[in-house]
Amino acid sequence: MENIIISNDLEKYLSQVDRYLKYISVSEKTDILSELKSSFYERLKNGQSSKEIIDKMPSAKDLAADYMEDSIDRKKIFSFKRMCQYIFFYSYSSLIWLAVIPTLFTLAIGFLLSGIISFAAGIMGLLKGLVNISFLNEIKIIFIYHELKGVSALLAGILLAIVFTILGILFWRGTVTLIRYLQNKKISIYNKCI
């Protein structure tokens, strides 16, 4: 076994099997690949060529699928309890993806745009109080039943811009956090299977 070298073709086959076994635990994958490598050494020792060995093997994808199926069967993953967990997770995550995340995203964008508009309105209110420009006379900045002009319009615009921007950032972070939570939860549920 020491003088026998596994050819590049057999190494390539092993790396393909390794790639297709991505959903099996590392320890189980290591055992499978070691077993295959030992089998290859034994066959080479008995006089088979690399080509003959590969010709008698199923495709790397099919072999990996067989190993994964055996792994699932041994662990009895699809119990009634596990199936209920899957159904519950995918049901509420679908609802969140279809309703909550778009709503949070829309609110985040809306508040951020409102912050920009509030700041612009404050600047227009300041200009309206300082200079006489015809189109500014048609714009009214009303805050609690009172028209604001000059510095008071600018201060109100800045204050509202800060509040809206903070709300926009909070809703944006909420959106990102919720997406990450769902991704991690999906990975966690899937990892319990392997």
| Nearest partner of 129 among 141, 114, 115, 117, judged by Cα | 141
Mean pLDDT across the stretch 100-129? 90
Is 85 found in the same domain as 155?
yes
Mean pLDDT across the stretch 177-193? 73
Q: At 146, phi and psi to the nearest 5?
A: -130, 130
Is 60 found in the same domain as 93?
no
| Nearest partner of 13 among 45, 52, 46, judged by Cα | 52
Q: Which band of pLDDT confidence, cut at 50, 70 and 90, is reported for residue 158?
A: very high
Is 50 found in the same domain as 115?
no
Is 130 found in the same domain as 107?
yes
Domain stops at, among 48, 75, 102: 75
Q: What range defines the domain where residue 112 resides?
A: 80-193
Question: Domain count of the chain?
Answer: 2
Domain for residue 188, yes or no? Answer: yes
Is 86 found in the same domain as 50?
no
Domain for residue 2, yes or no? Answer: no
Is 95 found in the same domain as 21?
no
Q: Which band of pLDDT confidence, cut at 50, 70 and 90, is reported for residue 65?
A: confident
Mean pLDDT across the stretch 75-102? 72
Q: pLDDT for 26-50, tens place per residue?
A: 888 888 888 988 888 888 888 888 8
Strands 142-143 and 146-147 turn out to be: antiparallel
- 37-46, 50-59, 63-72, range with the lowest pLDDT: 63-72
Q: pLDDT for 118-143, tens place per residue?
A: 999 888 888 877 777 777 777 777 77
Is 145 found in the same domain as 105?
yes
Is 172 found in the same domain as 146?
yes
Tell me what percent of the residues of the chain surpass a pLDDT of 90.
19
Domain for residue 3, yes or no? Answer: no
Is 87 found in the same domain as 25?
no
Is 140 found in the same domain as 60?
no
